[in-house]
Copies of this chain bind each other. A is one copy, B any other.
Amino acid sequence: MKNNVKITRIKLSITQQRLAQRVGVTRQTIGLIEKGEYNPSLQLCVSIAKELNKTLDELFWEVEL
């Protein structure tokens, strides 16, 4: 699942570590989501979006390669 999490996080100068603790998962989970290597739960997507001040669509909808 390609997405805009990494680019958005970097623009905000937040580390994977910090994002992870804010949304209640581990750093590894954030890393794998950013790589697009797995398929996060809706709740986690919503938590990440709120933490990055974006909506679901902005982070996860029809993200271009």
Contact = CB atoms under 8 A, between A and B. Distances in A.
A48 B43 CA distance: 16
A60 B42 contact: yes
Contacts of A56: 56-57, 60-61
A47 to B, nearest CB: 11
Interface residues of A, number: 14
Contacts of A41: 39-42
Contacts of A55: 57, 61
A42 B49 CA distance: 13
A40 B49 CA distance: 16
Contacts of A7: none
A1 B47 CA distance: 12
